A and B are shown apart, each in its own frame.
Chain A
Amino acid sequence: MHRFWSLLFAAVNMACLALLVVAYAYPGLGWWLPDSASTQANEIDSLFYLITGLCAFFFVATQGILIYSLWRFPSTAPGSPSPIHGHPGLEIGWTIAPLVGLLVITAASLPVWKEARYQGFPPPALEGTNPLPPEADQVILVTARQWDWHLKYATESLPAEGIRQWASVGNPSDLIIANELHVWKGAKVSLLLRTTDVIHSFFVPALRLKQDTLPGKTIPMRFEATVSNVRFDPAEGRVVPNETKASWEIACAELCGGNHFRMRGKLFVHPDRKSYDAWLDHSRRQTRSRSLTAMLPNASSSNQKEGALQ
């Protein structure tokens, strides 16, 4: 047992690699990437594979050296290994290698970042003349707070002063609901992220969308969903899952306080604009109703067993 630590390290490392292979080879286990449901998902996944590949290479290399050294020179063995001091070639080598790796990652990620973040939004200076982000089908303001997401849906044309003005004041007809992000397949969605208190992070794994919300800032993001998971059923007056049965979570990905773990929401992707409009119209009627009899008990529409988070 003199070589306990080297054996343990070797075993743990082998197990890690084996897990990686199993997770990749058997997607049914759900250990690999979540569903991907947006146009940018593939590019972000490619980035993930690139970074995982780079990390795996260095992981195997460094752990290999570590385990070999533990095995070869256990503390109980007589004598000591001869250390290397001041080897310029080695030092330059291990400075250049990560640098190259990081540059490769940066170069690969910049176009994806640009796509997700900087396209489709007018610069603040031009906003007054160009109120709607070009090509946006839907504008949604996401306001994070401890501990839920408030989503404001624009239901009519945005004010001429621009979207940031709309985010601050808005229209009386806007629909405000909590924790439910509704879009339709193929819609170019512009999100504005805000927070009323601390830093949160709006994370939708299925869309590969993750962005911190920072106090005092309004941060634009965009995405386009490619798969739908629900449709609106006018007869039942609620959203029902479609054949994919997929349930997509919105999570807060930045520790934001005691209830951070339950700061969750759901993503609903309707198959087409018609279904979305029906949902929007229904929800608006629900929340704008002035008569008790016309009200269904739920102000929000999709709060049903099927729609619940697991």
Chain B
Amino acid sequence: MFGTLIHSFHNWFFGRQIPAGSKGRKNQWFREPVRFGAVLVLGLCSCADKEGYPDDLPYPQRVDLIVEEAPKLSPNNPSPPGGLEKSIANLGLVGGKILDPVKLPEATQTEITKLLAEQFGTPAQPRVGDGKTNLPELGKKLKLDSQTLAQGSVAYRRNCLHCHGLSGDGKGSSGLWVHPPPRDFRQGRFKFISTNPAKNLNRPRREDILRTIRMGLHGTSMPAFGILPTEELEALASYVIHLGIRGEVEFTIEKTLLKPQSQVLNLFENYLPDEEVSKDQETLAFFVPKFLQEIVRQYHTAESQVLVPPEYPFKDSELSDSIRRGFRLFSSQAPDALGCVSCHIDYGRQSPWQYDEWGSLNRPSNLTAGIYKGGRRPLDLFWRIKRGIPPSKMPAATLTGEDEGKKTWDLVNFIEALPFPATLPEEVRNAVYGSTGRIAKPN
């Protein structure tokens, strides 16, 4: 079968074997040069490609399942490669709640798509706001102007698209095959953030997103992009925020409207409680720009609300004692202990799998391995402890009292020293690694 195919192609390409001296050969003399030229031109055509997205390409409408509530229980294993979507579809069977955006009335779906296109443009011409009434000022401060976004979209297509996908859904062609799965930006949620939790802001600062892009997420498939030009990194951060806001507007509307007996009014009640709406304003066309403003305002507030760590209180000679105190805080025995060890079981070496907000699985970090997704600087560890990682269920440490700052640094010191048995005080080393001094293996 295959041989016949190749043979007939060969005959077509090179011409049938024509006996020497027979008639018809005269008409065939141009066959070889013409065909050779045709193949050459075809080959060269494939090299011509424009840098950014095609102009007429729209953002796709969200059709994949929405995880309204992730299950509480811990499964034994993550879904197999490529099986995330299937496992999300089955979350309902294990105590989760999922919603199907395709079940929205078709008119509503069309309206959402149209409104989103108005406010967010297309992948080739992305924007935040309609460019006129909506947020020219705040948008500029957050570098969400259309010039930066256009630059970001080109860079995103080159560097991020094939994992994070066109709409930032984390379902690019390579994204299906890696674990943990690439972040789905469309909920506007980010894990590694440094904003002050007291202000109840679950927004990242631009610097948080930039850190992730520059350094990557060690221990996941997110590589470091630090050698890209600064300008390009900034544009990428802007574009990620753009995708996040766009996705979040879509996600919020769909999630709310999919609940039984819900209406547009519920959107205003839940997400814009301060907005007074008259009856004829209860439309998506009125909600979308307002909600978008509210989100951008939150991002903007987050910029100035960094959680400033208290001054580091210890001298070098006090490090061992600090590690000891950190160890006690980490454990569950001492009266003021935080019980980190109840999730980071065996210091993370036997952590159980858990569902995160996106319905994918992760597990509390193995802290003996010295691999920190959110960064290995003491500051990063400080923020992880004080801020928690809300989308993945890691709570913020509830340290109180006047020596709260000291206690947090104790924890940081302990976690920093944990992968290095030689630097731990003897009784801590024995507790963590056993009396044999078992060495942590990097994974």
Interface residues of A (CB under 8 A from B): 1-2, 4-5, 8, 76-78, 145-148, 150, 159, 168-172, 176-180, 196, 257-259, 262-266, 287-292, 295, 297-300, 303-305, 307-309
Contacts and interface: CB of A to CB of B under 8 A. Distances in A.
Given A148-B216, A300-B215, A179 B33 contact: no
Interface string B287-320: 0000000000000000000101101100000000
Contact of B378 (A8, A257, A289): A289
A196 to B, nearest CB: 8
Interface in B224-267: 224, 226-233
Contact of B162 (A76, A258, A308): A258
With a 10 A CB-CB cut-off, give which of A4, A171, A266 has the most chain B CB atoms: A4
Q: Which 6 A-B pairs have the closest CB atoms?
A: A178-B224, A148-B223, A308-B229, A258-B174, A290-B312, A147-B223
B427 to A, nearest CB: 19
Contacts of B210: 297
A305 B163 CA distance: 26
27 contacts: A1-B33, A2-B29, A76-B25, A146-B223, A148-B224, A159-B422, A169-B370, A180-B227, A258-B174, A262-B158, A262-B223, A266-B227, A290-B309, A290-B412, A292-B309, A292-B379, A298-B214, A299-B375, A299-B377, A300-B214, A300-B226, A303-B214, A303-B227, A303-B230, A305-B230, A308-B227, A309-B228
Given A1-B33, A292-B379, A150 B227 contact: no
A8 B36 CA distance: 10
B32 interface: yes
B227 A264 contact: yes
A262 B30 CA distance: 44
A179 B376 CA distance: 16
Contacts of A295: 379
Contacts of B420: 169-172
A177 B216 CA distance: 10
Contacts of B207: 297
With a 10 A CB-CB cut-off, give which of B30, B158, B162, B216 has the most chain A CB atoms: B216
B211 A299 contact: yes
Interface in B123-141: none
B441 interface: yes
B174 to A, nearest CB: 4
Nearest to A302: B227
A296 to B, nearest CB: 11
Contacts of A257: 174
B407 interface: no
B310 to A, nearest CB: 9
A178 B226 contact: yes
Interface in B389-443: 409, 412, 416-417, 419-423, 439-443
B239 to A, nearest CB: 17
Given A297-B207, A303-B230, A290 B378 contact: yes
A4 B227 contact: no
With a 10 A CB-CB cut-off, give which of B224, B232, B440 has the most chain A CB atoms: B224
Contacts of B224: 148, 150, 178-179
Contact of B379 (A147, A159, A290, A308): A290
Contacts of A304: 229-230
Counting chain B residues whose Cβ lies within 8 A of the other chain, the interface size class is 35 or more
B216 A289 contact: no
B373 interface: no
A78 B174 CA distance: 56
B378 A259 contact: no
B273 interface: no
A291 B375 CA distance: 15
A188 to B, nearest CB: 26
Given A146-B221, A308-B229, 13 more contacts: A1-B30, A5-B32, A150-B218, A169-B419, A170-B370, A178-B216, A257-B174, A258-B162, A258-B163, A289-B377, A290-B312, A305-B230, A308-B227
A78 B226 contact: no
B227 A288 contact: no
Nearest to A304: B230
B428 to A, nearest CB: 14
Contacts of B309: 290-292
A242 B439 CA distance: 43
With a 10 A CB-CB cut-off, give which of A145, A172, A287, A297 has the most chain B CB atoms: A172
Interface in B182-228: 207, 210-211, 214-216, 218, 221, 223-224, 226-228
Interface string B119-163: 000000000000000000000000000000000000000110011
A256 to B, nearest CB: 11
A176 B419 CA distance: 14
B20 A259 contact: no
Given A146-B221, A172-B417, A305-B229, A288 B377 contact: yes
Contacts of A265: 227
Nearest to A292: B308
A177 B421 CA distance: 22
Interface in B306-336: 306, 308-309, 311-312
A168 B377 CA distance: 19
A262 B159 contact: yes
B105 interface: no
Contacts of A150: 218, 224
B21 interface: yes
B214 A1 contact: no
Contact of A287 (B21, B30, B376): B376
Nearest to B228: A308
Contacts of B74: none
Contact of A180 (B33, B36, B226): B226
B281 interface: no
Contacts of A290: 309, 312, 378-379, 382, 409, 412
Nearest to A147: B223
B173 interface: yes
A10 to B, nearest CB: 14
B436 to A, nearest CB: 15
Nearest to A78: B20
Contacts of B378: 288-290
A1 B25 CA distance: 12
A271 to B, nearest CB: 21
